[in-house]
Amino acid sequence: MDLQLKGKVIVVTGGSKGIGYGICEQLIQEEAQVVIIGRNKETIPEAVNQLSAAGGKVGFAYAELTDAAACKKAVQEVLDQYGVIDGLVNNAGVNDGVSLAEGDFETFTQSLHKNLTHYFMMAHYCLPALKKSKGAIVNIGSKTAVTGQGGTSGYAAANGGRNALTREWAVELLPYSIRVNAVIVAESFTPLYEKWIQTFPDPQTKLKTIEDNIPLENRMTTPKEIGSTVAFLLSQQSSHTTGQLLYVDGGYIHLDRSL
């Protein structure tokens, strides 16, 4: 299927590693012009080089996403270079373990800034360009908003907000033919996930326990599988799909895990 993304300018926050990198990999397969936005001045150039070596067209802009002015500046840099934005993928975030018991006002609000407020800011600053292109927004979310996890109030609240904003924006942007959808992730093995697994006394046993609870094939969802769904949602092949939360999770959330 030709997703007709060739030459389309797609902004991906946090696109230099993990799920974001998997999204970029799939977008360059569709010959899109990818622009990574984030703060990491080590991983971003490395990702750009790797994706470019694979034949992709990849640009970048640095921004501390918790800073509204930095988000605005990065979006303007994209427009100065490419003149258009056809799609936005809000992906950056971290499961930072800010719990109800041990968190406080400061750490909780910091978690919301790390994981939610930049979704709004990036969409806000990209909106004029997206209106012109009749583009699309895809928000990456987490199972924590639906299942809970324990010990991660900030991240769970932020992801609940991501889901709500997806539906809210889908309604608000109907007059402009801008579609807004979310891809909800459960278990995907990324560098951050691996770092978390290594905190357990027996990481391999812990990993197998998690994989055994994923109904489809008892394995983790790959970043590329998530990226494929994101690419579809950005494309005109999904031209009448908006306001949807798509669970790319091997059935983890909605199927009986005893299967």
With 0-12 / 13-18 / 19 or more C-beta atoms within 10 angstroms meaning exposed / middle / buried, residue 195 is exposed
Task: Report how far residue 172's alpha carbon sits from residue 247's, in angstroms, rounded to the nearest whole number.
Answer: 23
Which is the catalytic residue, given 21, 155, 247, 252? 155
Tokens of 212: 């055994």
DSSP string across 152-172: -HHHHHHHHHHHHHHHHHHHH
Tokens of 58: 């990849």
Provide the residue type at 191 as one letter: P
CB 36 within 8 Å of CB 24: yes
Please provide the distance, in angstroms rounded to a whole number, between the alpha carbons at the two ends of the chain. Answer: 33
Task: Report how far residue 9's alpha carbon sits from residue 59's, in angstroms, rounded to the nearest whole number.
Answer: 10
Known catalytic residue at 155: yes
DSSP string across 80-103: HHHS---EEEE---------TTT-
Task: Report how far residue 12's alpha carbon sits from residue 140's, in angstroms, rounded to the nearest whole number.
Answer: 11
Task: Report how far residue 128's alpha carbon sits from residue 22's, in angstroms, rounded to the nearest whole number.
Answer: 27
The catalytic residue positions are 155
